[in-house]
């Protein structure tokens, strides 16, 4: 560890002393799967209590309206949980955005509900790394900052949403609103077990294509039917084979059909795209439009597109490089090696970067096997990452990050 000022040493000690492991274990005991509204409400209340220790105004924000396509092709409303928003010193000269998510990928009926120690320092449990550990780290860092002289300079908004694991459809507008005018942002997704951060990210688009054909008897007059299931399968193949270097395509599911003796008159194709750049996103959208027109013509069916590119690509521009450089230097001053690499995964960092705000979106705990029942948290990373965040926040408050200044650096 290199020389640190007395002020820096004080906030590091306070960040490391926070009761993060206890918080993680209590929060991970609450099932907060993205569709478990009761569990999300319980989690939101618990987080409101915890973050209520910070100054500022805290509120639970109603989700924005969201529609989804049911298996039968009907478009129906889909309810999400409320989102936590904390605003602290909105008139301060330096304004930051910190974000996390309270939802997990494990529904209330999933068998993975408990916690266990795999070995000392390695905790297995739902959401312990992704990202209840990250939320505890965020809170510890902010609590430490509130005891420092940074309070004269730094204001921030905290958003902990309830729908990140399903693409943030009901919170994307809130994120855009609160990202406006921010100097920088941190999101508390987990880092890799060795501490590596996510750099550039691909974008993501989720679509449902409703295919309407014409039913007929499969034996007596099949020629009068228009098979929606076959048309959906043809569309899936065209989209898959049309993807290439700039974006990937994953046809994930086709729903529809019925008795073997009836030509199916409806189907729904679910498909995901991962464009690497904004230009690739436009090319992918052109492919969707072209393939749908061709399938409609060749199969004499009607198609309706629902969905969109909810996560824009997140490049590593100059501002992002500078913010990563500050985090890397803070890590070096703590004796940590901070590196990063590009990834095809997406998160709220994509949405924040699309607002022109530099963001490091893996400021959370070190852990792994997320989205599976093997998910684990390296518990010694709680204090480590809380100190990293606290130091970075303190230095940003004191003018050590200037997003407009160019700097030549490589990851």
What is the CATH number for 256?
A: 3.30.70.360
The verdict on residue 103 lying in a domain is yes
pLDDT at 245: 86
Got the DSSP string for 199-250? Answer: EEE--EEEEEEEEE-B--BTTT-GGG-B-HHHHHHHHHHHHHHH-BTTEEEE
54 and 170 assigned to the same domain: yes
Average of pLDDT values for 380-392? 98
The verdict on residue 403 lying in a domain is no
31 and 120 assigned to the same domain: yes
61 and 148 assigned to the same domain: yes
pLDDT at 312: 96
245 and 344 assigned to the same domain: no
In angstroms, rounded to a whole number, what is the distance separating the alpha carbons of residues 54 and 58?
A: 9
392 and 290 assigned to the same domain: no
Q: What is the pTM of this model?
A: 0.94
The answer to whether the peptide bond before residue 80 is cis (omega within 30 degrees of 0) is no
Q: Which of 198, 246, 245 is nearest to 352 (CA)?
A: 198
The answer on pLDDT for 153 being more than 60 is yes
Average of pLDDT values for 285-299? 98
324 and 380 assigned to the same domain: yes
307 and 347 assigned to the same domain: no
Last residue of a domain, one of 289, 311, 333: 311
The answer on pLDDT for 22 being more than 90 is yes
Q: What is the CATH classification number for the domain harbouring 37?
A: 3.40.630.10
Average of pLDDT values for 358-366? 98
The verdict on residue 407 lying in a domain is no
pLDDT at 1: 52
Average of pLDDT values for 260-280? 97
Q: What is the mean pLDDT of the chain?
A: 96
The verdict on residue 41 lying in a domain is yes
Average of pLDDT values for 151-164? 98
The answer on pLDDT for 149 being more than 90 is yes
Average of pLDDT values for 285-293? 98
Q: Which of 330, 393, 402, 373 is nearest to 1 (CA)?
A: 330
189 and 209 assigned to the same domain: no
327 and 235 assigned to the same domain: no
The answer on pLDDT for 279 being more than 90 is yes
Phi/psi for 99 (5° steps) reads -135, 155
The answer on pLDDT for 255 being more than 50 is yes
The verdict on residue 409 lying in a domain is no
Last residue of a domain, one of 288, 311, 334: 311
Give 184-203 pLDDT, tens digit per residue: 999 999 999 999 999 999 99
The answer on pLDDT for 411 being more than 90 is no
The pLDDT confidence band at residue 3, using thresholds 50, 70 and 90, is confident
Give 53-74 pLDDT, tens digit per residue: 999 999 999 999 999 999 999 9
The verdict on residue 370 lying in a domain is yes
Domain that holds residue 304: 204-311
pLDDT at 409: 40
Half-sphere exposure of 253 toward its Cβ, with a 13 Å CA cutoff? 10
285 and 335 assigned to the same domain: no
The answer on pLDDT for 320 being more than 60 is yes
279 and 354 assigned to the same domain: no
In angstroms, rounded to a whole number, what is the distance separating the alpha carbons of residues 410 and 301?
A: 51
The verdict on residue 408 lying in a domain is no
* Total domain count, the chain: 2
Which residue's structure tokens are 């007596």? 220
Strand pairing report for 376-378 and 122-124: antiparallel
The answer to whether the peptide bond before residue 392 is cis (omega within 30 degrees of 0) is no
The verdict on residue 268 lying in a domain is yes
Last residue of a domain, one of 265, 291, 311: 311
137 and 180 assigned to the same domain: yes
């Amino acid at each position: 560890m290199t020389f640190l000022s007395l002020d820096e040493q004080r906030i590091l000690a306070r960040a490391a002393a926070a009761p993060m492991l206890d918080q993680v274990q209590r929060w991970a005991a609450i099932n907060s799967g993205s569709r478990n509204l009761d569990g999300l409400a319980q989690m939101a209340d618990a987080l409101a209590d915890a973050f209520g220790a910070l100054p500022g105004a805290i509120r639970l924000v109603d989700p924005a309206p969201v529609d989804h396509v049911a298996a039968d092709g009907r478009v129906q409303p889909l309810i999400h949980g409320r989102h936590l928003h904390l605003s602290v010193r909105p008139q301060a000269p330096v304004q930051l955005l910190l974000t996390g998510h309270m939802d997990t990928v494990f529904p209330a009926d999933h068998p993975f509900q408990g916690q266990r120690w795999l070995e000392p320092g390695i905790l297995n449990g739902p959401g312990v790394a992704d990202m209840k550990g990250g939320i505890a780290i965020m809170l510890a860092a902010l609590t430490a900052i509130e005891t420092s002289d940074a309070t004269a300079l730094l204001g921030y908004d905290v958003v902990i949403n309830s729908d990140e694991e399903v693409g943030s459809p009901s919170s994307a507008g809130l994120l855009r609103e609160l990202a406006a005018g921010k100097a920088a942002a941190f999101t508390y997704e987990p880092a890799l077990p060795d501490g590596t951060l996510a750099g550039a990210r691909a974008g993501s688009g989720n679509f449902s294509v409703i295919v309407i054909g014409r039913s007929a008897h499969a034996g007596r007059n099949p020629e009068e039917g228009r098979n929606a299931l076959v048309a959906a399968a043809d569309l899936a193949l065209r989209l898959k084979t049309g993807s290439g270097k700039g974006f990937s395509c994953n046809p994930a599911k086709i729903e529809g059909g019925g008795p073997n003796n009836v030509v199916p008159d409806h189907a729904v194709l679910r498909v995901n795209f991962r464009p690497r750049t904004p230009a690739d996103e436009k090319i992918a959208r052109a492919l969707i439009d072209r393939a749908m027109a061709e399938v409609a013509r060749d199969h004499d069916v009607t198609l309706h597109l629902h969905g969109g590119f909810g996560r824009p690509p997140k490049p590593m521009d100059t501002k992002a490089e500078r913010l990563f450089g500050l985090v890397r230097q803070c890590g070096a001053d703590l004796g940590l090696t901070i590196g990063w690499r590009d990834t095809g995964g997406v998160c709220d960092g994509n949405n924040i970067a699309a607002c022109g705000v530099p963001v490091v979106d893996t400021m959370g705990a070190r852990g792994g096997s997320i989205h599976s029942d093997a998910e684990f948290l390296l518990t010694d990373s709680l204090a480590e990452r809380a100190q990293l965040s606290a130091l970075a926040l303190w230095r940003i408050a004191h003018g050590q990050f200037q997003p407009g200044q160019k700097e030549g650096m490589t990851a």
